[in-house]
Structures are given as structure tokens and as C-alpha cells.
A and B are shown apart, each in its own frame.
Chain A
Amino acid sequence: MIGNFLDQFWSLTFGGLSLGFIYILIALGYTLVYGVLRMINFANSEIFMVGTFATVIVIRDVFHFTQSSEYATGLRLWFILATALVISMLVSGLLSVVVEVVAYRRLRRKNSGILAPLISAIGVSMVLAETVRIMTDSRPVAAPRAMDKTFIGQFFDAGVRLDNTIIVIAALLLFIALTTFINKTRMGKAIRAVSMNANAARLMGINIDGVISATFLIGGLMTGAAGFFYVLKYENTASNIGFELGIAAFTAAILGGIGNIKGAFFGGLALGLLETYASFFLGTQWKAVTVFVVLVLVLYTRPNGIFGESMQQSRV
């Protein structure tokens, strides 16, 4: 078992890394919203699910790929991938803004505590998941493969797959873009101000509703990108995938300290790797259990995340 593990170590690690980057992007959706609202965006998992369907629709219906079509190459491939990525991000981003208006805005104005918005967000995610389930007849949907998933190189005997490489590089770029946006722009500064102290930010003339909408938009954009990468990697989706990925990404956000962008990064990577290694030893059917055990252990021992309070200073 251990010998096997060492043999496959690098290929598992690459798989785990790309999964980790998918988690990072979804975890950003949770963490950004938590930063400004101090509430969990329960519908984020379904926003992700809708993002995966947007990707499938673009590849299958806009570019007319089928299971038997030839792989796209060169410039056309990059164009197709970029289009699918951008459209998934936009769909999820806009949906996320709508979710905020429907599930949170009214209750936020009434100051109705923490339970009511949580329940209404659960309702929204239920509506999203069920609508898609009824539209897809409860069946998983396969995404046609648009690209040749060849090995583009070797690393310690493990083949480095093109799709995993694209996911890691593109997600890293998105993450850098996000941190730059949060740290360097005016809107980013407003988001940071609201997450530090919403009342003080209001008194300073910051439009709180605008900032919250912007945060949901950015969180949704990142989550939508994760949906694209998920389809690229696993080539299928279903109306119920949001739940499992959502819990895992939320665990990742907690692991790094929720509300903290860097925390989402390290938490996502750690969880992606951990889950992949654990699946190797225990079998994939116990994947969700591993994640849950990690979540409980982290919350029980270090509820502020592995980086503790010191990182909280640099929260969003």
C-alpha cells in the first residue's frame, strides 16, 4: 500500500493540486461574502452547480461538440476554453447577485438576526438545485471532451496532464487578479472597509448595498470559474454536485480561517491534497466522510482556522 502510494505520489499530487484550486475558487465565494456579511452564503454551492452547467452548454450547444467530435486544437481550443470560462463566470456572478437580492437584502434591512437569512438562502439553493434537477430529469449530464488530455511532460515518472496544468495556472492567475483587485482598487478598499466595520464604513459614506452586491458578484465570478474547471477536469456534472463540493469548499475556507483570502488559498490546497491522498487509501466513497471529519476537527480545535488570530488581521 505504502509502496504503491509512493509510486503514484506525484500523479496523485497533481490531481490533488488541481482539485485544490477548484476548492480555492469556491472557497473564495464563501469567504468574500462571509467577510462583508458575517454570514455563510448557503447558495454558493448551487451557484457553482449552475456554473458547471453553463460550461457544458457552451461546449455542447454553442460550439456543437459531441462525444465523437474531434478535439479542438491550437487557437480554436484556447478560444473555446476562454469563452466557456468567461460565460460560466458571468452566469454564476450574475446569479450570485440575484441570490443576494432575493435571499438576503430584505432580511438584512430588517436586521432579523442570523437564522432568517440562513433559512431563506437554503430555500434559494433548494429552488436552484430542484429546478436544474427537473430540467435534467435527475440524470447526470456528460460534457463532451473538447481537448486532447495528453501528457505535456514528465515529473518524477508522473505524467503532467494538460487539463490539470491549465486549471492550476488559470486559477492561480484568477487568484492573483482577485487579491490585486481587493488590495489596489477603490472598490477593493471599500470591501475591506465594510468587512472591518460595516457601520463605520457606512458613516464614511460607503454605499453598503453596492459593496455587498459587488462582493457577491466577485464571489460568484470565482465560483463560476471553479464550475468551468470542474467540468474541464471531470467532464460531467449533475444537479446534486453542489452539495458535496460546497461542503468541501466551505471546509477549505474554515481550514484557512473564514473571511480570509489567503486562508482560502492554503485551505483549498491542503484539502484538495488531503482528500486525494485519503481517497487513495480509503477508497473514493469515503471522500465526503474525510472532509467532514477534517471540518469537525478544525472547528473543534481551531475554530479560527489553522493560521489562527494573527491572520485575522489581514482578513478581507
Chain B
Amino acid sequence: MINLRDKGAEVWEKSGRPARVAIVLASIAAVASLPLMGGTILNTPIASYESVLVNPVAMFVLMAIGLNIVIGKSGLLDLGYVAFFAIGAYTMALLGTRTGLNTWEILPIGIAMAMFAGLILGVPALKLRGDYLAIITLGFGEIVRIIALNLETLGRSEGILNIPTPPPIFGVEYAFDSHRIYFWTLLVLILLAIWMVRRLSARRAGRAWESIRQDEDVAELLGVPTFRYKIWAFVLGASVGGAAGVFYASKTLYIAPDNFTLQISILILACVVFGGMGNIWGVILGAVVLAYLPDRIRFLSEARLLVFGLVLVIMMNLRPDGLLPRKKREKALVVKEKS
């Protein structure tokens, strides 16, 4: 199979600055007009096409981008990603119903809470070997849910009701059923996340993550402060999860511990693996396909997790690099030296 990622990169390398700006603007416009294409074959039998586009599709894309920093960029297997999502959502729910703060004011607080949780978990967990990390994070994800299930303040199994929607911003109203507005807001968050990841990847942090992913011992011997960069990857991943959580709570108006099961972590992991670990476009593609298909094809929605489990096994065994594999960095470097 051809490597679409390399083909895309080739086109990108060849085009000049104006062409690049045009490509970016055209892609953003194309994606932003997606909710306007309702009523077509894209409609799903269960929910309206526009609402599916917001949740799960855009939601999954955002979280998959966040998890990709942890798994794809630095090779740390985080199986409790849902914990950060839950922390963001519960921050929004608690502050939104108890205080006068609105969604935009809570967003940074939710992100900070998720990052703090990432730090608390990361400091003991990231000193360990990869597979221990997997189990620790797996447990952590479940613990957050159990705590929400048993604490009076967090509403126990009934969850928290009447979470406020975001207040108008730049004159845009957030009505409960105007999915387009939510989609466009999520799109902005996604673009911000992509921008953050791309800037970081091109800099010191990105190189450090890459070296950790390839061989942690060698990286450490070459003087990369591996522990510090692993914490950074973990905390940044958590921040994106937290942001997604805040927005999710504000969109659905109601959250309960059942929204934050281990399955969510596995679903997001499947998105990252299916699309291509480490390559942001692959991850986005994976999330779109895996979030959309089960809603589109009815019989899949019951067996959704079963299918996702199969995806993990099959992809790992047959195409471990995913649909759109990461760019072969070594190859790119050689080309540059020649020219």
C-alpha cells in the first residue's frame, strides 16, 4: 500500500508559502462546512447527522489528538485517558452549577485540574517501565470513576444535572440544539491542539519525545532529561483531555459516572492505533472513521467495542503503523541533505 503520508508531505514540501496558506484555509473551510451538508447519505439512523458530528466525531478527534501526544509521540501507553476527560467534565459540572463562573472561565480551570491530575499520576507512574505504566493508568481511570460514583458532592450514580451551556461569545448564541455552533467551537479547539502539537514536535520537546519513543535508555545516555519530557507529554495530553471534558459537560448538560468508563479510554486508544500512532493526520482520520461508522451502520453500534477490540488486534498484527503511518523521518532528512 502506498504511504499517503509521504505523498502528502511531498506535495506540501513542493508548494510555496502562498500555496500552503491556501491549502490550509481551503481544508479548514471544507471541514467547517461539514455540518451544512446534512440530509445527505451521511445521515445516521440513530441521531441527526449534525449531532453525531459534534459527539462523538469531533469529541473523539480532539481526545485522540491529546492521547496521541502521550502514546504516538512519546510511546507511553496511557490506558486511563478517560480520567482526564472526567476531571474536566466534573470541574465544569461542579463549578458551573455551584458558582457563577461560565464555560469560558471554567475551561482554563478544567484544563489546569486535568494537568495537575496528570502530574500527580505521572510522577510516580512515569518512573516505571511501559507495561507497568499501562496498568497504573488503567487503574487510575477506573478510580476516578469510582470516586465520582461514591462521593455525595459529585452526585453519586445520578451524576450532576443542569450544567449551564456556554454563554454567548462574539455574539454567537449556544442554544442546546444548535449543533453547528458546538461543532465550530470544537473545530477551533481541535485546530489549537493541532497547532500546539505541531509547534512542539518541531522543537526540542518533539525531538526528545521521538528519542524516548525509539529508545529511552539511549535517549537518557545522550543527555535527554527523559523523565521531565515524559511528564510534559503526559501533562499536555491530559490538558487536551480536560478541555474536551469541560466542553462535553457544557454540551450535554448532564454527566454521570457511566459516561466515563474504561471503554472510552480503549475507544480513543483504538482511534490512535487505527489511524497511525504518532501521525496527527492519521490519528484524526482514525478517530473520524471509528467514531462515525458505528453510528452510521446500525448493527455495528451494539458491537462497537467488539469491533474496536478486533481493530486493535488486526492493526497491530498486520499494519502496526496504522492507516496513515508516521512520516519516515530518516528518509526526509536524507533528501534534505542531498538538495
Contact = CB atoms under 8 A, between A and B. Distances in A.
Contacts of B125: 296, 299
Interface string A68-102: 00000000000000000000000000000000001
Interface in B83-137: 124-125, 127-132, 134-136
B306 interface: yes
Nearest to B139: A292
Interface stretch (A12-20, A163-171, A215-223, A282-290): A282-290
Given A289-B146, A296-B136, A118 B131 contact: yes
Contact of B124 (A129, A289, A300): A300
A291 B146 CA distance: 12
Contacts, number: 112
A286 B266 CA distance: 24
Interface in A273-310: 285-286, 288-289, 291-292, 295-296, 299-300, 303
A40 B305 CA distance: 22
Contacts of B310: 123, 127
The interface centre, meaning the residue of A119, A125, A288, A291 with most chain B CB atoms within 10 A of its CB, is: A119
A123 B311 contact: yes
The interface centre, meaning the residue of A134, A292, A303 with most chain B CB atoms within 10 A of its CB, is: A292
B312 to A, nearest CB: 3
Given A130-B305, A288-B142, A117 B147 contact: no
B150 interface: yes
B131 A102 contact: no
Given A118-B77, A130-B303, A102 B143 contact: no
Interface string A102-116: 110011000010111
Contacts of A112: 320
B192 to A, nearest CB: 28
B229 to A, nearest CB: 17
A127 B150 contact: no
Contacts of B82: none
Nearest to A102: B313
Contacts of A131: 306
Contacts of B289: none
B306 A134 contact: yes
A39 to B, nearest CB: 6
A247 interface: yes
Given A40-B135, A299-B124, A123 B146 contact: no
Contacts of B143: 288-289, 292
Contacts of B49: none
Contacts of A228: none
B183 interface: no
Judged by DSSP, the binding face of B is helix
The interface centre, meaning the residue of A114, A250, A295, A299 with most chain B CB atoms within 10 A of its CB, is: A299
B212 interface: no
Contacts of B266: 122, 126
A103 B313 contact: yes
Nearest to B267: A126
A134 B136 CA distance: 28
A158 interface: no
The interface centre, meaning the residue of B128, B131, B138, B269 with most chain A CB atoms within 10 A of its CB, is: B131
Nearest to B150: A285
A286 B309 CA distance: 29
Contacts of A125: 309
Nearest to A258: B132
A119 B268 CA distance: 12
B75 interface: yes
Contacts of A120: 312-313, 316-317
A285 B146 contact: yes
Contacts of A299: 124-125, 128, 132, 136
A42 B313 CA distance: 13
Contact of B140 (A39, A134, A292, A300): A292
A243 interface: yes
B285 interface: no
A291 to B, nearest CB: 8
B61 interface: no
B273 interface: yes
A124 interface: yes
B247 interface: no
Given A40-B131, A107-B316, A107-B317, A126 B309 contact: yes
Contacts of B270: 123
Nearest to B308: A126
Contacts of A292: 139-140, 142-143
Contacts of B132: 254, 299, 303
Contacts of B77: 115, 118-119
A118 B134 contact: yes
Nearest to A40: B131
Given A127-B310, A134-B302, A303-B128, A122 B269 contact: yes
Contact of A250 (B135, B149, B314): B135
B125 to A, nearest CB: 8
B262 interface: yes
Contacts of B75: 115
A114 B77 CA distance: 10
B52 interface: no
Contacts of B129: 114
A247 B320 contact: no
Contacts of B135: 40, 247, 250, 295
Given A118-B130, A130-B303, A243-B142, A285 B316 contact: no
A127 to B, nearest CB: 4
Closest 3 CB pairs of A and B: A123-B312, A126-B309, A120-B316
Interface of A: 39-40, 42, 102-103, 106-107, 112, 114-120, 122-127, 129-131, 134, 243, 247, 250, 254, 285-286, 288-289, 291-292, 295-296, 299-300, 303
Given A125-B309, A126-B305, A291-B139, 8 more contacts: A119-B77, A123-B309, A126-B312, A131-B306, A247-B142, A286-B146, A295-B136, A299-B136
